[in-house]
Structure 1
Amino acid sequence: MVTLDLRRLRFLRELEERGTLGAVAAALDYSPSAVSQQLALLEKETGTRLFEKAGRGVRLTDAGRLLAQHARILLAAAEAAEADLAALSDEVRGAVRAGGLQSAARRLLVPAVARMAADHPQVRVEISELELEQALPELRLGSVDVIVSDEYDGHPRPRPAGLEFTLLHEEPLRVVLPAAHPLAADGGEVAIAALRDDVWVASDEGTGHYAMVVGTCRALGGYEPDLRHRSGDADVQLELVRVAGAVALLPAMTLPPADPALAIRDVAGAGTGRRLFLVTRDAPPTPALTAFLAAVTDQAARLR
């Protein structure tokens, strides 16, 4: 009779998802040799060849892929059992690992941490700043419990199976200009087409914000923007507007309440906006996660 170790099954599932021993080691905070040792023990326990050489690395055999599928089911069942047991306790305790993009971390997640510290001091909350492209795989694998994701009008995000998306907040996008920009003078709406000759700043290529800026300039202006500056930090983008004369298109949540060096204007024509979502695994949440989700939702309501 084969006895399967859940911890080693987690290594197997991580290898299936991440592809290399080095990536598994980095994700789980082990050395590559320790990961290799654990997987070798799993192979010995099952008496089945689970891996084969592939260049300098390894890949799963058919048996390895089959066991990885069962590992996902077993690990999900173990997570559900832990949540059910935690629900029997009169005290909310445990850990919550949350991630999100910079503006969401600052305006939603950090205030929720303070709320949890006051209301549920036995809950350990960990916050990481993550872009959606990085966060979704971590959520699916259980490295984080909840993320705050964004989605721009006209640029839908992927919704992988096994994850639950809950609308949290909606906000408009604003054109941000240097205060001395000619289009800033009258305080009215600014047409994207009128910014054809300006230098733009956006987040890194491959992010939702980058795709939105490029797509908006194409759709509303009919041109490819001169995207000379790129940063995932909204404060850096704003500084490039102030000092370097760039222009930006940013969600309201990322903007300062008042700044004499900036002109913040509505976008003329078609409305443009951003939606924020709470994303969790499609599984029963622990009491600690339920409390944290409520704290984030309350904070979003305050912003509205």
Structure 2
Amino acid sequence: MFDLHRLRLLRELKHRGTLAAVAAALSYAPSSVSQQLSQLEAEVGVPLLEPVGRRVRLTEQAEILVAHTEAVLERLERAEADIAASLTELTGTLRIASFQTAALTLVPTMLGLLRDQHPNLRLHVTHMEPEQALPALQARDFDLVLAEEYPGNPNPRPAELEHEDLLDDPLHLAVPRPADSPDTDGPDTDGPDTDGPDTDGPDAGGPMAALRSLANHPWVMEPEGTPARHWAMTLCRDAGFEPDVRFETTDLLLHQRLVEQEHAAAFLPDLVWNGQPPTVTLRQLPRDRRSRRIFTVVRRGRGRHPAVLACRDALHRAITLRPRRTSAKRGG
């Protein structure tokens, strides 16, 4: 029978990429990791690693072993969940990763609800963008991740991860508010999927015309390579222009401030305002581009763990408790 500890080291190597990264994550010496994997190769009787420059990659046989290891670890996750469910008190540590706007608006309320209901459950929260947090979840650095998905830009769905939807967060085009006008667009309204004029906005040509009017305006966007940047660039190109991106950051509060100070236009989600009146002018986007999906992700087999169930329930309650954004009324 193969040694489970060594199989987990092989799995770690698949997810972390290098022997040094595996050693750092598990507080081992790299030589110890290498020795353990050599012993696993001897147990299996075939090569498991092959050199690629200064790195190594898994052989076909190693990939087969990792797939079976994932199945074993899923069963162990279920066993851990069943043991926790058999206890009368929820204890231990739940490690959570969250992107910025959810961390600012949903997570604090969630923490308060869990503190009151499960005072002996320890929560460890890390601010991390989904593109880093989801691989870390697979590598077992976290137990639950809050993630986002932009319209028309679906995330990969690894078989070893489970998703559960939280909410749809409306997205808006944000531009500096004119000094003599406090107006913002009202809430999005349902209706036919058209690019006609907004019923409550001042842009007679509709959402795409509002976008095109900013073709020569400076923009702030998230960095290249992020799903949010890909979505934003695609939207601008569909409107017929290449945006002049002068500011790049994942900090949406900085996006907001740059729009407020008339340095840039931006795309901002409702969660940025957390129920407060917007401080910039908001315009509607095309109907099929108006919201991002926010969801939680856990490793397969862990979704039944009482701590995960309690956390997800608290997040859903936090959504119902959060204040709803109200737009400013038009002046007479």
What TM-score, normalized by structure 2, do the two folds share? 0.80
The answer on whether the counterparts of 1:93 and 1:287 sit within 8 Å (CA) in structure 2 is no
Alpha-carbon distance between aligned partners in 1 of 2:34 and 2:43, rounded to the nearest angstrom: 14
Read off the aligned partner of 1:65 and give its amino acid letter.
E
Read off the aligned partner of 2:141 and give its amino acid letter.
S
The answer on whether the counterparts of 1:177 and 1:245 sit within 8 Å (CA) in structure 2 is no
Partner residue of 2:176 out of 168, 178, 184? 178
| Other structure's SS at 1:195 match | coil
| Other structure's SS at 2:261 match | helix
Residue 295 of structure 2 aligns with which residue? 277
Partner residue of 2:312 out of 267, 279, 293? 293
Residue 266 in structure 1 maps to residue 283 in structure 2? yes
Residue 66 of structure 1 aligns with which residue? 64
Residue 11 of structure 1 aligns with which residue? 9
Same amino acid, percent of matched pairs: 38
Residue 81 of structure 1 aligns with which residue? 79
Please report the RMSD computed on the Cα atoms of aligned residues, expressed in angstroms.
Answer: 2.6
Q: Give the superposition deviation at 1:185.
A: 6.8
Question: Which range moves more in the overlay, 84-93 or 6-15?
Answer: 6-15
Alignment of 1:1-304 (within 5 A): 2=1, 4=3, 6-43=4-41, 49-180=47-178, 187=184, 189=201, 191-219=210-238, 221-243=239-261, 245-255=263-273, 257-258=276-277, 262-267=279-284, 270=287, 272-283=290-301, 284-303=303-322
Q: 1:240 to 1:38 in 2, by over 3 A?
A: farther
Gapped regions of structure 1 (runs ≥ 5): none
Q: Give the superposition deviation at 1:196.
A: 1.1
Deviation string, structure 1 residues 150-187 (Cα, Å, up to 9, x no partner): 122232222222322222112221222223479x6764
Deviation string, structure 1 residues 236-262 (Cα, Å, up to 9, x no partner): 212222336111111010136246xx4
Alpha-carbon distance between aligned partners in 1 of 2:81 and 2:285, rounded to the nearest angstrom: 49
Alpha-carbon distance between aligned partners in 2 of 1:33 and 1:145, rounded to the nearest angstrom: 28
Alpha-carbon distance between aligned partners in 2 of 1:244 and 1:255, rounded to the nearest angstrom: 18
The answer on whether the counterparts of 1:149 and 1:276 sit within 8 Å (CA) in structure 2 is yes
Read off the aligned partner of 1:275 and give its amino acid letter.
R
Alpha-carbon distance between aligned partners in 1 of 2:256 and 2:169, rounded to the nearest angstrom: 18
Q: Give the superposition deviation at 1:204.
A: 0.9
The answer on whether the counterparts of 2:15 and 2:138 sit within 8 Å (CA) in structure 1 is no
Deviation string, structure 1 residues 23-62 (Cα, Å, up to 9, x no partner): 3234445443443344345445656643344432333344
Gapped regions of structure 2 (runs ≥ 5): 186-200, 204-209, 325-332
Alpha-carbon distance between aligned partners in 2 of 1:186 and 1:49, rounded to the nearest angstrom: 67
Question: Which range moves more in the overlay, 29-38 or 272-281?
Answer: 29-38
Alpha-carbon distance between aligned partners in 1 of 2:30 and 2:261, rounded to the nearest angstrom: 45
Read off the aligned partner of 1:290 and give its amino acid letter.
L
Alpha-carbon distance between aligned partners in 2 of 1:152 and 1:58, rounded to the nearest angstrom: 34
Deviation string, structure 1 residues 110-165 (Cα, Å, up to 9, x no partner): 32123222221221211122222222222233322221221222322222223222
Q: 1:249 to 1:31 in 2, by over 3 A?
A: farther
Alpha-carbon distance between aligned partners in 2 of 1:86 and 1:64, rounded to the nearest angstrom: 32
Q: Give the superposition deviation at 1:3.
A: 5.4
Number of aligned pairs?
298
Alpha-carbon distance between aligned partners in 1 of 2:95 and 2:112, rounded to the nearest angstrom: 14
